[in-house]
Structure 1
Amino acid sequence: MLELARGISQWAHGFKNGVIFLFNTGEEEGLSGAHSFITQHPWSKTIRLAVDLEAMGVGGKSGIFQAGPHPWAIENFASAAKYPSGNVIAQDLFSAGVIKSATDFQVYKEVAGLSGLDFAFTDNGAVYHTKNDKLDLLKSGSLQHLGENMLAFLLRIASSPHLPKSKDMDKELKTGHDTAIFFDILGTYMIVYSQRFASMLHNSVILQSLLIWAASLFMGGSSATISLGLSCLSAILMLLFSISFSVFVAFIVPQISPSPVPYVANPLLVLGLFAAPALLGALTGQHLGYLILKKYLLNVYSKKKQLSSVIIADVVKLEAERWLYKAGFVQWLVLLIVGNYYKIGSSYLAVFWLVPPAFAYGLLEATLTPARLPKPLKLATLLMGLAVPILISSGTLIRLAGTIIGMAVRFDRNPGGAPEWLWNIIISIFIAVCICLTFIYVLSYVHLSGAKRSIILATSILFGLSLILILSGFIQPFTEDTARAVNVVHVVDASGRYGEKQDPLSYISLFSNTPGKLDKEVEQIKEGFTCGKDKVVDLVTFSVNYGCWTHDDTESGWSESDIPTLHVDSDTKGGERITRVSIDTKSSMRWSLAINTKEIEDFILKGDLEELIPYGNKTGVDGWHHIQFSGGKESPRKFELTLFWSVKTMPSADNVDRTVIQDQRPLLKLRTDVNRLTPKAERVLAKLPTWCSLFGKSTSPLTLAFLSSLPVNL
């Protein structure tokens, strides 16, 4: 951003619009930097367009994964950028919540009502939010790509006299009719068109396809209708078998491999582990459908007395092949209809996988009259029909697969809370679906090409070789650069249980957001760790459901004066119950607080008599109001929390069975973080294996964390 500021300053004398460079903090704590600027800074009222530069990795192209809602920004970027990169598919996935994250662009769009662009790197996402996210791993070409595109774009919009007015953008935000469909072609050219045009185009393609199919089935009669149904059955079997084969491997890999995700450092392994069985499954499913279809066609042609049995057998094979090819049309037509109905921008992909193959088939295969016998499907039909869709979609699908793999290291937000095989299944299903969608035309040709045995042999060898590589340890799941994300936290738990006074429990907690056990890491560290599902730690913003603990030598490096306090100053139990709690975070300037939404309807938080969170309209997540605070050296450490109980308040302790109280969650949970290394934690970090890297997300605990709580029964 500094280099961009330096670059555009050379042309600033010709600008008609100002450019503000905003360096935000507090994104991981809840987009607080962007929110503070938009809601408090006087300049925020002058902004007409927002551009967010993000990252989900340390390399690759910086592509657009969110744009709009007004199309002006993406249209100008497409025409100005030297090497435009971006795809509406990523936007659809992000908007649908497939990627569980948020960026500052969300604040600009939803709070400020702005339009704009959201960029991100995605390659090598395994190092994202780890201590390995460092400059020497950042690809210089990625920075150059972003810089050249952004410089050209900023110069254009800063000099433009036609920047849309805010009311125009608000109108488009409400209607959504002119939101943009966008995608790049090999990073050299970007196509952008409106949702209105997309609907017209898709409706036209759908209508023409349905008319052609209706005419074809009408002329072909019942046999054509049944043949179409059986060819569609082959496509369904293809999908089911492909997913089944791939998911089966995904399920057994954690059982036989040292790591549930052995491909993180070497993403190409997924080709052998998941793509190979998915392709075998697809071929098996389609072949089964082919046999059913061939049996039906054999029965139809056997009634034609003028043909010999030898000719009939050859004709049936050729006819079955053509129907399997046509099943691809139906598959993509269904996807286009569904996507068009729900106005999904990604449905543009279905147009490219439907129209060119259909055009090639009609052009090269010619219209066959009933008197003529079918001929083998031409190889030229495949080459002409698949060239355009492969050119358009291959790069996007490969990048998406890489992004999904990179997310594996931080997938389990509550470590140990998800099955080890779950992430493999997500990746395997994605790969299987991509193979079925894109290989359906090719596999129909395979049945008569004589290549089935070669394909089965090649994919089996690839699968077997991949298994050998991971089982032998020749390829490691993690490396020094692409490391496993772990956390080492010295936890001092002074929360007690159900409000009972207990001595603080002190231990070192080792856990990982990456699926898999920590036995290998613990074996190398050798500091008295024991691992299991019973090593649960409630760290307020998340819970460790599988981890490793050691209590050895954990009493030094902290004192009881560091433990935060939660003190009830008053508790009014009149018509409306109001409780005032004073919080002292002691030496901590960063803390996380959870308030029980079952008991508390609203609250007010003050720090140094300044109202930080006002009364009114509180929302909860998973039964808790969450507050995260991260301040500087001069930030307050003492706070006043006023709690407004809900109508369904809990009765007093005198009238409640003790066992009932034990089933209740606490009223407040507090975690305070201190950036201090205790002697034991320092020893553990020094012995951390080279394939591990500390998880660096700012909402994770620091190396010393204190836990406190306040019971419901005050």
Structure 2
Amino acid sequence: MAIDLEAMGVGGKSGIFQAGPEPWAIENYALAAKYPSGQIVAQDIFKSGAIKSATDFQVYQELAGLSGLDIAYADNTAVYHTKNDKLKLLKPGSLQHLGENMLAFLLKAGTSTNFPKGKATTSRGKSGQDTAIYFDILGTYMVVFRQSVASMIYNSVILQSLLIWTTSLIMGGYSAMISLALSSLSLMLMWICAIGFSALVAFVLPLVSSSPIPFISSPWLVVGLFGAPAVLGAFTGQHVGYLILLKYLTKTFSRRNVNLPLVVRDDLAKLEAERWLYKAGLMQWLILLIVGNFYKIGSSYLALAWLVFPAFAYGFLEATLSPARLPKPLKTVTLLIGLSVPFLLSSGIIIHLVATLIGSAVRLERSPGSNPEWLGNVILAILIAAIACLTLVYLLSYIHISGAKVPLIITTCLLFGISLAMVQLGVVPPFTEDTARAVNVVHVVDMTAANGKKQEPASHISLFSTTPGNLVKEVEQIGEGFTCGSDKPLDFVTFSVKYGCWSDKNANIGWHEPDIPLFRVENDTKGDNRVTHVSIDTKVSTRWTLGINADEVEDFQLKDGHEELVPIGDKSNADGWHIIQFSGGKKAPREFSLTLFWADNHTHKSHKKDSNTEQPLLKLRTDVDRITSPTETVLGKLPQWCSLFGKSTSPLTLAFLSSLPVDF
């Protein structure tokens, strides 16, 4: 069994975000852990590919066929892999929480008489029916049940719901069908306006703020910046649908109740419209439950809770205890009973999900400058708008005929206005010393000319960030002759810096010609099966990244002296490149033998028709852990809200770039 103790932040509860596929581990963890924490919602999101990352647990699960648990801290995600990602900043309570849970679980697992045998891959039968669904309640109790049980419950609820809806529509006739259609229209308008209002703010923020993500150091700002517009938009869209529905129901009641005064008929139409909006919320969650059940989504239990409890409260209090034929105002107790359990199950998940996404926004750009500045804001805005539409659909149905309309509009507008003013005036800084902006300062020595030919070394100090936004404010404080823009892209092999800043000031010192890595073509056997032998000398570097042109080279072999590091065989590639990353200690080798087996139709396949440039055959980045004099100067002037990005795939402070052209 594989137990992986991960982190994507500093502190907080250590929660399970992946488990299985064999359910034994999560079931026994739920029984043994003193303070169980875990949500299958996180597992669904992680496995959907929305998070472009991987963990060690996946290696054991996918390659070794093992089952187990993947656990991580997730608070303050923004400091992950920065200077503030330090052990001393991990709260003792967080470490104790992890220890209490894992010690209890391991003691139970170690003394278990029914420990599962064999690999997880052999126990995946029954089409995933044995996988576990899990979630904790306030960190004190964990619920775990099998997918087979969940499917049985979901199918039962879905069939009963469809039966009730079908019966009510048949009994209600044409009028009921039209009312359902119009109330469904109100839902669509609610979603459109909520997303539209919130997304509009996402586009505006980069124009009024020094940073397109000004809420990183103060996550509570998103309540006003995105939450308030989302709620206002949801209410506005639903109210427009309510008015259309009300107009239809008014005509219907006028025809059916001609003996009642006009004012009474109008009031009855309003009450009926209110009920239809509430029932439209039930329809919304029923659709989500059907979809989740069809695709076996683990977090479908949330749709079940948001459907069953409000439906029970409505049916018991409004239908059973309100037998009168004419509609009456919805009872407040209906809302309280119907929403208490769903909010209990969802509130913690929502808070952690939004907080994690906010923290992750600082690393949204894997290739700096490749995404528009507003992209992260739009993703966050859509998520918050979706949460508002899903969780407030029942509550909003109460407001249209109450006196709360004006206070709701005023409150949301004031909250948004205050939040936007604080951002625009810089009252709340986007980044602080504790929650810093991740940047890279690299002294680059580039041996590659624009046409792929070797040239005299071109050296400069490079400044770039994976955090969205320009670096104008930072370089103003640093000085040192930096120029920023997108007209000098840098290829660091594993990623490209399409927007960055560079300075040539004193860039010719701190490195030496013997430090520059070398490619040497030892022999080249041309023909139908072309094979080329290349020697690589990384000089002073024991940490490097090599890219091999997959359009030209079908297979390759890499050796360290007599030891084979990468054997001949099927090779995968990413964006047309075979990528090799190497990291060793002080005694690691520096000379390598690379054998290239060319593709049959390799003849300049990498030549771009729309460009005069040609991709090289090989490109290499060698890293040196050396702070040169100009780099030290820049680091000393780095603003306090900036932090060096410490991810292992990022260049060290001195990097040499080399390449071997196709027509060597």
Q: Among 6, 15, 36, which residue is 1:84 paired with?
A: 36
Does the CA-based 8 Å contact 1:661-1:713 persist in structure 2? no
State the shift of 1:60 in Å: 1.2
Match of 2:642 in 1: 692
Match of 1:18 in 2: none
- Verify: 1:343 aligned to 2:293, yes or no: no
Q: Secondary structure at the match of 1:504?
A: strand
Letter in 1 for 2:653: T
In structure 1, C-alpha distance between the alignment counterparts of 2:199 and 2:607, rounded to whole Å: 48
In structure 1, C-alpha distance between the alignment counterparts of 2:570 and 2:160, rounded to whole Å: 51
Call closer, same or farther: CA 1:657–1:491 in 2, change over 3 Å: closer
Match of 1:17 in 2: none
Letter in 2 for 1:209: S
In structure 2, C-alpha distance between the alignment counterparts of 1:610 and 1:573, rounded to whole Å: 26
State the shift of 1:470 in Å: 1.0
Call closer, same or farther: CA 1:165–1:406 in 2, change over 3 Å: same
Match of 1:25 in 2: none
Q: Secondary structure at the match of 2:522?
A: strand
In structure 1, C-alpha distance between the alignment counterparts of 2:401 and 2:60, rounded to whole Å: 56
- Verify: 1:275 aligned to 2:224, yes or no: no
Match of 1:666 in 2: 616
Does the CA-based 8 Å contact 2:607-2:614 persist in structure 1? no
In structure 2, C-alpha distance between the alignment counterparts of 1:295 and 1:472, rounded to whole Å: 45
Does the CA-based 8 Å contact 1:594-1:627 persist in structure 2? yes
Match of 1:395 in 2: 348
State the shift of 1:139 in Å: 1.9
Does the CA-based 8 Å contact 1:412-1:514 persist in structure 2? yes
Match of 2:91 in 1: 139
**How do 1:104-503 residues align onto structure 2 when only pairs under 5 Å count?**
104-167=56-119, 170-172=122-124, 175-304=127-256, 305-367=258-320, 372-503=325-456
State the shift of 1:649 in Å: 1.4
Letter in 2 for 1:479: T
State the shift of 1:408 in Å: 1.1
- Verify: 1:613 aligned to 2:560, yes or no: no
**How do 1:501-650 residues align onto structure 2 when only pairs under 5 Å count?**
501-650=454-603
State the shift of 1:146 in Å: 0.8
Point out the more displaced range, 612-621 or 500-509: 500-509
In structure 2, C-alpha distance between the alignment counterparts of 1:673 and 1:589, rounded to whole Å: 8
State the shift of 1:410 in Å: 1.1
State the shift of 1:499 in Å: 4.0
Does the CA-based 8 Å contact 1:607-1:640 persist in structure 2? yes
In structure 2, C-alpha distance between the alignment counterparts of 1:331 and 1:213, rounded to whole Å: 13
State the shift of 1:448 in Å: 2.1
Call closer, same or farther: CA 1:90–1:450 in 2, change over 3 Å: same
**1:524-560 CA-partner distances (Å, limit 9, x unpaired):** 1111101011131110011101100000101111011
Q: Secondary structure at the match of 1:446?
A: coil
Does the CA-based 8 Å contact 2:623-2:656 persist in structure 1? yes
Does the CA-based 8 Å contact 2:67-2:120 persist in structure 1? no
**1:330-363 CA-partner distances (Å, limit 9, x unpaired):** 0000001011101111111100000000000011
Q: Secondary structure at the match of 1:166?
A: coil
**1:689-710 CA-partner distances (Å, limit 9, x unpaired):** 0000000001100000000001
**1:9-67 CA-partner distances (Å, limit 9, x unpaired):** xxxxxxxxxxxxxxxxxxxxxxxxxxxxxxxxxxxxxxxx1100000000211100000
In structure 2, C-alpha distance between the alignment counterparts of 1:620 and 1:168, rounded to whole Å: 28
**1:86-139 CA-partner distances (Å, limit 9, x unpaired):** 111100110011111000001110111000000011110000011111133222
Point out the more displaced range, 476-485 or 361-370: 361-370
Q: Secondary structure at the match of 1:233?
A: helix
State the identity %.
65
Match of 1:678 in 2: 628
Does the CA-based 8 Å contact 2:528-2:600 persist in structure 1? no
In structure 1, C-alpha distance between the alignment counterparts of 2:507 and 2:65, rounded to whole Å: 51
In structure 1, C-alpha distance between the alignment counterparts of 2:127 and 2:608, rounded to whole Å: 56
Match of 1:29 in 2: none
Q: Among 6, 14, 17, which residue is 1:62 paired with?
A: 14
**How do 1:94-109 residues align onto structure 2 when only pairs under 5 Å count?**
94-109=46-61
**1:235-254 CA-partner distances (Å, limit 9, x unpaired):** 11101100000000000100
**1:168-217 CA-partner distances (Å, limit 9, x unpaired):** 65222784220011111111111000111111111011000000001111
In structure 2, C-alpha distance between the alignment counterparts of 1:174 and 1:519, rounded to whole Å: 57
State the shift of 1:167 in Å: 4.9
In structure 1, C-alpha distance between the alignment counterparts of 2:95 and 2:297, rounded to whole Å: 31
Does the CA-based 8 Å contact 1:599-1:645 persist in structure 2? yes
State the shift of 1:603 in Å: 0.4
In structure 2, C-alpha distance between the alignment counterparts of 1:634 and 1:321, rounded to whole Å: 75
In structure 2, C-alpha distance between the alignment counterparts of 1:402 and 1:99, rounded to whole Å: 14
Does the CA-based 8 Å contact 2:65-2:119 persist in structure 1? no
In the superposition, the TM-score normalised over structure 1's length comes to 0.91
Letter in 2 for 1:353: W
Does the CA-based 8 Å contact 1:53-1:119 persist in structure 2? yes
Point out the more displaced range, 227-236 or 381-390: 227-236
Does the CA-based 8 Å contact 2:441-2:462 persist in structure 1? yes
State the shift of 1:411 in Å: 1.1
Letter in 1 for 2:29: F
Alignment length, in residue pairs? 663
**1:578-604 CA-partner distances (Å, limit 9, x unpaired):** 111110000000000011111111100
Letter in 2 for 1:627: I
In structure 1, C-alpha distance between the alignment counterparts of 2:240 and 2:480, rounded to whole Å: 56
Letter in 2 for 1:198: A
Does the CA-based 8 Å contact 1:57-1:121 persist in structure 2? yes
State the shift of 1:663 in Å: 3.1
Does the CA-based 8 Å contact 1:261-1:515 persist in structure 2? yes
Does the CA-based 8 Å contact 1:498-1:661 persist in structure 2? no
**1:118-168 CA-partner distances (Å, limit 9, x unpaired):** 001111000001111113322222111111111111111011121101156
Gaps of 5+ in 2: none
In structure 1, C-alpha distance between the alignment counterparts of 2:179 and 2:321, rounded to whole Å: 16
Call closer, same or farther: CA 1:168–1:419 in 2, change over 3 Å: closer
Q: Secondary structure at the match of 2:455?
A: coil
In structure 1, C-alpha distance between the alignment counterparts of 2:111 and 2:348, rounded to whole Å: 33
In structure 2, C-alpha distance between the alignment counterparts of 1:232 and 1:681, rounded to whole Å: 60
**How do 1:24-43 residues align onto structure 2 when only pairs under 5 Å count?**
none
In the superposition, the TM-score normalised over structure 2's length comes to 0.98
Letter in 2 for 1:713: D
Q: Secondary structure at the match of 1:447?
A: coil
Point out the more displaced range, 59-68 or 166-175: 166-175
Letter in 2 for 1:556: I
State the shift of 1:371 in Å: 6.2
State the shift of 1:501 in Å: 3.2
